[in-house]
Amino acid sequence: MCCEVTGDKFRLTGDKFRLFHAFTVTYLSLNSAAMGKTTEVAADRAYDQTKTVLPKEVAQGIYMQHAPSLQALKLMHLMIGTAGGRMADDVRHEFKLSAVKKIEGMNNHTRASLAPLFEELRAATIREGDPNIETDRVVIGGLLDQAVLDRSDPVSGDILLSWYFGRSFRDMARASNHWAILDRQAVFHLGSKYSVLLFQYISSLQNLKHISSKRFTVSELRSLFGIPEGKLVRFADVNSRALGPSIDEINSDLTRLHLTVKLHKIGRTVSEVEITWEIKADLTKVKDELDRPKIGRKARRDGTAETPVTAFPDFGSVKGTQPWDRIARDNAPRIDGRHVPDLRVLADTFRKWCGQKSIQLDMKNIEKTFTTWCKSYSAR
């Protein structure tokens, strides 16, 4: 597969594609005559910590094998945003663990839990060009060369995280004359890898003139979402597990886009999925929602937020936090028959268990779930 951008036209060639987009694109300029180098633009915008400048080649034209998870995507977004105008330089980049913890959904990370995310980024393979086309020049490389998770600082207790970008990524950034200016917060707030991939793909087309919709074959849609062979085989499964939930989340107050889906069928079989997009007329609600806490977000999106939403805390102990403190004391088995278990450890264990079971901490019956779980909790 190759991806061509020429003037106002966008054309995909090949039967299959696997486009991996690392970030949410809020603006894409395609007029190369008015452009300078991507890295120069990134350096000029270093003052703006809410935006990231990304080479267009990464945003639209790169294969990514072993695509990272949602958490690794968020980490990579922070890494490229931190590097800014130096992303093409063979230098060490760094930030502290505390910077990662400011990202929604990543505030519980430790050095140990970040190591697998860096391993995912190290395993992600960039392939530019199609090996099935004899005239294509194919380059295979990586996004990340090396990452170092340092020891805890003896004074602050913080941990320094540093890395070198891979040569393929640096060469790409250095040669790039087209760029995308990215809104970091939308990616940080989206709760699904599928939502991120669809949102950034559609966003990358949004500023093309005279284009407001695109048709995808089911095969292309599976590739866009990075769904491996043998998973979500039927379109009904792709629709219920990936496409439908992504559309709902993108259409919520978390993003500036509103998407509409139309299915094209041959007989009773879905042959193509047409996605149409438009910018929401009022972006005030988007800004307000991005500024609000995650707790209760699902209820607000579903329109059921008239009653207060009780969500299990995203981090920390439940000591002194009701109703969780009371539920834990009333239901968790006592140590040696007398002592209440460590409520921070208990809370961390419950959050980990919920993650393994794909249980949302703000789901409707979370209190009942926590009560039942506490009864079988073991501090050992």
For residues 176 and 323, state if they share a domain: no
**CB neighbours of residue 204 within 10 Å:** 25
15 within some domain: yes
Return the minimum-mean-pLDDT range out of 14-28, 269-283, 304-318.
14-28
What are the structure tokens assigned to 94, written together?
């760094």
Query: How many residues are given for the chain?
Result: 380
Domain count, the chain: 2
For residues 57 and 193, state if they share a domain: yes
Q: How far is residue 131 from each of residues 8, 123, 124, 139, 307, measured CA to CA in Å? A: 27, 20, 18, 9, 56
Q: What radius of gyration do the chain's Cα atoms show?
A: 23
Res. 302: pLDDT tops 70: no
Please give the backbone phi and psi of residue 225, each rounded to the nearest 5 degrees, phi first: -80, -10
333 within some domain: yes
For residues 171 and 47, state if they share a domain: yes
Q: Which residues pair with 257 in a beta bridge?
A: 279
Q: CB of 180 within 8 A of CB of 25?
A: yes
Return the minimum-mean-pLDDT range out of 83-92, 110-119, 279-288, 311-320.
279-288
Res. 125: pLDDT tops 50: yes
Residue finishing a domain among 162, 191, 209: 209
Percent of residues in the chain assigned helix, strand, coil, to nearest 5? 40, 20, 40
Return the minimum-mean-pLDDT range out of 79-88, 139-148, 170-179, 327-336.
170-179
7 within some domain: yes
Residues 36, 120: Cα–Cα separation, whole Å: 32
Residues 249, 67: Cα–Cα separation, whole Å: 21
Q: Domain span at residue 79?
A: 2-209
More confident residue, 126 or 344: 344
Residues 185, 349: Cα–Cα separation, whole Å: 28
Q: CB of 110 within 8 A of CB of 176?
A: no
Residue finishing a domain among 190, 209, 228: 209
Q: Which of 164, 159, 242, 235 is nearest to 197 (CA)?
A: 242
Rounded to the nearest integer, the mean pLDDT of the chain is 80
For residues 204 and 335, state if they share a domain: no
- 144-152 and 63-65: which strand pairing? unpaired
pLDDT recorded at residue 244: 94
For residues 191 and 340, state if they share a domain: no
pLDDT recorded at residue 161: 97
Q: CB of 18 within 8 A of CB of 63?
A: yes
121 within some domain: yes
Predicted TM-score (pTM) of the model is 0.64
Residue finishing a domain among 209, 230, 265: 209
Percentage of the chain beyond pLDDT 90 is 34
284 within some domain: no
pLDDT recorded at residue 335: 85
Res. 80: pLDDT tops 70: yes
257 within some domain: no
For residues 320 and 171, state if they share a domain: no
For residues 193 and 314, state if they share a domain: no
Return the minimum-mean-pLDDT range out of 201-215, 238-252, 292-306.
292-306
Side chain identity at residue 281, one-letter code? A
Angle of helix 324-331 relative to helix 366-375, nearest 10 degrees, comes to 30
248 within some domain: no
268 within some domain: no
Res. 146: pLDDT tops 90: yes
